[in-house]
Amino acid sequence: MKQAMSSLLKRSCENGNNFSRAVMFRLMSKEVIKNSVVSLASLLVFVFLAETTLRVVYAVRAAWAAQVVLSYMNGDQYGPVPPWWDPLRILDDDAVLLWRLRSDVRRTYIDVFSPIQSEEERRGLLRTFRPSLPTSVRSNPSWEIILNSDGFRNEEFPDSKPAHGFRIICLGDSWTFGANVGQDQAYPQRLQQSLREGVPDAQFEVLNMGVLGYSSYQGLELLKRQVLELNPDFLIIGYAMNDSSVAGFRDKDMPGYAKTINWIKTIGTFVEKHSESYRLLRYFAQILKDRPKSLTDILRGTASSADAGSELPERSMTDPSQYAKFEEWTRVSLQDYEQNIRAMIDTARGRGIGVILLYNELWQDSPYRGVLARMARAEGVPLVDSSVLVAEARSKIEAKLERMLGLHPSGQPLFQATGTGAETPAAAAPASAGARDVEVLFRVYAKDHPVPTAMFMAGAHPKLGAALPNMVAMYDDGTHGDERANDKVWTYRTGFPDGTKLFYVYTNSGMAGKWDGLDVPHIRSFTVEAGQQGKIVYRPIESFGEVYMLADSWHTNAAGYELIAKAVLEVLKSDPSVKAYLAAQIVAAEPSAGQAEGTLHGIDNSDGRTILSAAR
């Protein structure tokens, strides 16, 4: 009996202990859950406050920034971009077009494609949080963009096309958009102005539908989605530069890429795009790891890749056969490029729309230029080659400067003296020249830039200092090949074997071995042509602080866009549809006082032809 009672009491105690433990566990669980909820709520409040604070701070900064600094870097060594620049960006994602311009945007940009003391100063302009402009760049060129409600750099598109209007739509990339120039200096706007001045009584409309970074893939999609609805009479198509870009992806594959991303990556992408706290922390982490290449590394890398073909060097120096190795990594393949352009031509012609093709690019040896030229011939479509226009204009500037300064013209080599005739000051070969080297005279004009000590050259070639800065001095004292002392034209003379590809920069009075006193952020290039042995090759006179006809390393300047507009106008003058339109306007118009029958401003119909007056 006692044993039974003892066992019963023991079980009761155990049950009581179990009950107590269960109660304690439930109480502790509730406390843990409560604490977790409080912690999570506190974290969410903290994140919310941090996100809100950052967004407010960025918005205030963006509102305070009257001008946006575009600080160009050699070799595109920008490194991490601060997240506080995001409110000032002008591109938004698009499911089909990949991106498009934001609507109703107004921005003023300051270009820093100009001399500066160091690359660190250039990079600092990009990363500084202060929106006010440093004194060193306040006098730099500025340009404004105004985007309409459709996100194009144009006045608002009319609700309907005028009954007697002739609508021209310009499709293209940043060249059509008008990168680096004012709103009225882009080539479509210049074309519009020329038409209004030449034929004020006609109703020509020119719509600028160029978008930064667009390829022919995006152009074709834009044509189908939006352009045809505007009922154009003429299309001007200008794609090539971005198609040939070695980006590591194909544009046509990107719209479907998002469907292949799993849910974990989707969450990560969402956080990356929408969390300012995450983006700021990531930016600081990237800054700590960032090790930008020096200009020495960039020069040597460019030269070695040009020689070995291991990487894509400066495109202007790339042989088309070598470029073929990178073709599979381009945004649009050559085959797809041809198909896209042909599809645009066929679509336009199927609707009775006229077409002009533009090659808006600086790279004259591009295989994409060859495809475009071949297609223009096969389809009977006019082609305006902007690379030729820019190159010819650059040559004229160089020749004019040589005449103005009274110096030897480039492109006219001199034979070196052999002892049988008179020697010019530049004729004696330097001791460093090999017997079979071609003698080259590099010349750079300091212009308005003070030169406290000397101008220097730096290039990867050993005779240009093996890419070390401020080691190879130039001369403006009438010696070492310099033609005239103290004329602000600095000269360096040395010899190179045939076929040598040279990449170089200029510096102004910097310290030996230190990259300071920098020129514009642009790698200059030159290839020594074969068959020049025994001659002195005079390079064109370059200018410190300027690359003729360029606003940056990828785009022409306002003068170049003006040339494009004039060239397009010349093609329009001879187009049958334009002639027919103008003839119809003459028939419909009432002759004004003092105006001969059958004529209109800018039109000469006296010999049965309709001729549009040339742009001024």
Helix/strand/coil for 69: strand
Q: Are residues 490 and 423 in the same domain?
A: yes
Q: What is the pLDDT of residue 169?
A: 98
Give 30-49 as a 3 state SS string: HHHHHHHHHHHHHHHHHHHH
Q: Could you tell me if 535 and 614 lie in one domain?
A: no
Show which of 39, 64, 89 is a domain's final residue. 64
Domain assignment present for residue 6? The answer is yes
Same domain, 533 and 608: no
What is the model's pLDDT at position 605? 36
Q: How confident is the model at residue 533 (pLDDT cuts 50, 70, 90)?
A: confident
Residue 323 above 70 pLDDT?
A: no
Provide the token pair at 234.
């003429």
Residue at 266 is within a domain: no
Residues 414 and 526 in one domain: yes
Which pLDDT score is estimated for 532?
Answer: 77
| Residue-wise pLDDT tens digits, 54-76 | 889 988 888 888 889 888 888 88
Domain that holds residue 5: 1-64
User: Given this model, what pLDDT does residue 270 score?
Assistant: 64
What would the mean pLDDT of 499-505 be, rounded to a whole number? 93
Question: Same domain for 463 and 583?
Answer: no
Q: Is 306 a member of any domain? A: no
Position 44 in a domain: yes
535 and 423 belong to one structural domain: yes
- The radius of gyration of the chain from alpha carbons, rounded to an integer in Å, stands at 32
Is residue 490, in this structure, part of any structural domain at all?
yes
Q: Are residues 595 and 514 in the same domain?
A: no
C-beta of residue 161 within 8 angstroms of C-beta of residue 231: yes
Average pLDDT of the residues in 201-217: 96
Same domain as 599, residue 487? no
- Which of 268-272, 325-329, 371-375, 471-475 has the weakest average pLDDT? 268-272
* Amino acid code (one letter) for 612: L
Strand order in the sheet with 455-459: 472-473, 455-459, 501-508, 524-527
Residue 5 lies in a domain: yes
Q: Compute the average pLDDT of residues 462-488.
A: 96
**Dist. CA 65–CA 71, nearest whole Å:** 15
Domain boundary among 41, 64, 87: 64
Residue 390 lies in a domain: no
Same domain flag for 496 and 610:
no
Cα 146 from Cα 106, distance rounded (Å):
5
Q: Which pLDDT score, from 0 to 100, does residue 2 have?
A: 54
* pLDDT tier at 421, thresholds 50, 70, 90: very low
pLDDT tens-digit readout, 29-46: 777 787 777 888 887 888
Q: What is the CATH number for 460?
A: 2.60.40.10
611 & 506 share domain: no
Asked if residue 417 and residue 525 are part of one domain, the reply reads: yes
The pTM score is 0.86
Mean pLDDT (the chain, rounded):
85
What's the CA gap between 463 and 494, in Å, rounded?
7
Domain match, 537 and 446 both: yes
Amino acid at 310: S
Asked if the model's pLDDT at residue 357 lies above 80, the reply is: yes
**In terms of DSSP H, where are the helices of 223-294?**
263-274, 276-289
Number of domains the chain contains: 3
371-390 confidence digits (pLDDT tens): 999 999 999 999 999 999 99
Amino acid of residue 141: P
Which one is predicted more confidently, 593 or 250? 250
Q: For residue 36, is it within any domain?
A: yes
Residue 308 has what pLDDT?
53
